[in-house]
Structure 1
Amino acid sequence: MEKLARQQVQKLTPYLSARRIGGSGDVWLNANESPFDNTYQLNLSGLNRYPSCQPEGMLSAYAAYAGVQPEQVLTTRGADEGIELIIRAFCEPNEDAILYCPPTYGMYAISAETIGVARKVVPLTSDWQLDLPAIEANLDGVKVVFVCSPNNPTGNLVAREDIVALLELTKDRAIVVMDEAYIDFCPQASTVDLLEQYEHLAILRTLSKAFALAGLRCGYTLANAELIQVLLKVIAPYPVPYPVSEIAQQALSESGLARMKYQALEINTNRAYLQAGLSAIPGVTVFDGWGNYLLVEFPDGDALFQAAWDNGMILRNSPIENCVRISAGNREECEKTLAFIRRFYQ
């Protein structure tokens, strides 16, 4: 079957998600999931009918939370579908390119490669900020620029003035996609207020992280109405199952939002606990993080990652040398992981 696949697909290396990598243990801090397992009520009648492509209740609820109008919201199967839709809608295969800035989320490149769209790579600077002169020099043929803030896996925020400068650079040239999958842990850093000024800005959001709904596969794209209408041309006809719509609206209700904010605060507290404890270990460097995870540099990151794996603590190795990404779980998971790492370096 392999030889029957498109050549582009034959050469493709799939994204190694946490679940594909696997592992066996009782502490899972590798996928930036929430440690909270919330419950919801479901009405499962009407499953014999197709759902609405874009349920009004979902759009209105998220629009109210994000501070935009419902016509500025598109709901998708996770933010990953939003990435793919934007590339499909704005890039001609074998003609246009996307641009992204590693180290960053791997699905931008894989989605483009799957569709047959070229990839231009402009690495982040040494302090993991945008290299604006290099981006400007590489914009020819680029239709979409992806920026992740808080960035995965580094955890840092991209400087707002650089985001504005990028938006100015790309006017009438390319779509700028701000990936805000982790913005609920630092809502003050959102770029949603820039939508009013920049018609070529799109923002990716998700319920997977702070809302503790990774298994729901529910994401949102925020943009101006004209851009949303373009994406509606290429989205699947029935992307939102009834149960997804029901649960999402409960999560976005007044009580649901209150619970999310409380849980996000607790996760941020546990992240700070991990950061303080790990920073006290000689030879270990912990980078400031604004999502629900930390990037940590060890004297030998691969050895630490493997030792933790062998002891049932599943972390995430990183493309950055000697660095391991550690999700902020519940306090018990954080304490157990910190104690293991302390013993490892004694």
Structure 2
Amino acid sequence: MSSALARPEILTLKPYVTAIQEPGTLRLNANEAPRSPLDDGLNRYPPIRPAGLQEKLAALFGVAQQNLLATRGSSEAIDLITRAFCRAYQDSVLVMPPTFSMYRVYAGMQGAAVVEVPLNAENNFCLNANEVLARCTDNCKLIFICSPNNPTGTSVPFPEIEKLLRSRAGKSLIVVDEAYIEFSDADSVALQLARFDNLVVLRTLSKAWGLAGTRCGAVIGNEGIIELLGRLVPPYAFSTPSSDRVLQSLSRVGESNARKLVAETIAERERVRNALRDLPCVTRVWPSDANFLLVKFASLGDVSKLLAQNHVLVRAFADSPLLANCARITIGTIEQNDQLLKALDDQSGSRS
């Protein structure tokens, strides 16, 4: 079992035992206040583990409940996995920049080394499994794959992921971050969970479901890994208001609205991409399977100043040599995207 790859002290860790929560009883066992300021029931701790939320998320992502742990965004899942499996100053994680920087941040917090296998911009930032395997060491516990990747928007074909899963079986967890998968045509690799004991999948409601403010995500894996990660989650971690709002959103109406949002975003993504490619200030726009575009400008400095004057914010990567003069642009509404394009068109006109 891949759970055996965890830190020895985590394998023997006894989780905190919470006060019993039982309906219809007088609860004087958790030092809760007898009432809240607004008398809204928030004087009581939320469920130790949000069972209703777990059930809904498992159904949404097509997995069994015992294979899923609700987390406060997928970022918490990255933290839990890194703390559970990486021994400080002994183990390493492997990442493929440019990618989501929190993999590196949580590794640094845990004292784990970071091995980088850069993606090639000229090859549309495609992952090469053979290059990754060549850099793996005996102490490489985690390989993070963001698909579609942030900030490039590139999806990783499953055969490349499968090669890593097979080659690193019993040695590394392959953690596939699917934060943006709803904006692509790909199936979730969670469908392969029964085939690969070392597969871990991250999901979130922040993007396609428009629920970033609730901080709701999930980690999916084999039952042993999920049980192990559950030991590290504090009790009562998921607040009652957040849980209630997520459950309300995961309704038929909410699902219909989410699907509509995704469809609108994809249509706008392609419209904006085509418009950007026609602008003189733009030198390249990479194809994207996410809710954003990676754009290279002739002069990012000039563009950034103009966008700031027009009160438009984009994500620049000045500290990344791999992304020189590049910015990640989130796809907004039609009106918001038109505001962006007008500002960039004005920039191009002023330089002609």
Partner of 1:87: 82
The match for 2:19 is none
Distance 1:101 1:70 in 2: 31
Which residue of structure 2 lines up, in the alignment, with residue 105 of structure 1? 100
The answer to whether the Cα contact below 8 Å between 1:305 and 1:324 also exists between their aligned partners in 2 is: no
The 3 A distance-change label for structure 1 pair 119 and 310 is same
What aligned pairs does 1:1-346 form with structure 2 within 5 A after superposition?
45-126=40-121, 127=123, 128-140=125-137, 141-186=139-184, 188-282=186-280, 283-318=282-317, 319=320, 320-346=323-349
d(CA) in 1 for partners of 2:235 and 2:111?
Answer: 23
Kept in 2: contact 1:309–1:315 (CA 8 A): no
Deviation at 1:79, TM superposition (A): 0.7
Moved over 4 A (4+): none
CA distance in 2, matches of 1:77, 1:172: 28
- Deviations 1:216-236 (CA, angstroms, capped at 9, x unpaired): 111111112111011011111
Higher relative contact order (CA 8 A, sep 6+): 1
**Distance in 2 between residues matched to 1:188 and 1:53, nearest whole Å:** 34
Measured in 1, the distance between the counterparts of 2:100 and 2:305 equals: 22
Rg (Cα) greater in structure: 2
Cα 1:44–1:338 change in 2 (3 A) is: farther
Alpha carbons 1:292, 1:328 under 8 Å: kept = yes
Q: Number of matched residues?
A: 304
How far off is 1:138 after superposition? 2.2
Q: Which amino acid aligns with 2:326?
A: C
* 2:299 maps to amino acid: D
Q: Is the 8 A contact 1:88 1:115 kept in 2?
A: yes
Unaligned runs of 5+ in 1: 1-42
Normalised to the residue count of structure 1, the TM-score between the two structures is 0.84
Q: Is the 8 A contact 1:98 1:118 kept in 2?
A: yes
TM-score (norm. length: structure 2): 0.83
Q: Kindly, what percent of the aligned residue pairs are identical?
A: 35
CA contact (8 A) 1:44 1:243 kept: no
Partners of 1:163 and 1:132 in 2: CA distance: 7
Q: Which deviations, in whole Å up to 9, do the C-alpha atoms of 1:63-93 show, x marking residues without a partner? A: 1111111111111111110000000111111
Deviation at 1:186, TM superposition (A): 2.1
Superposed CA RMSD in Å reads: 1.5
CA distances 1:101-147 after superposition (whole Å, capped 9, x unpaired): 00000000011101111111111234212232332122211101100
Contact 1:54/1:74 (CA < 8 Å) preserved in 2?
no
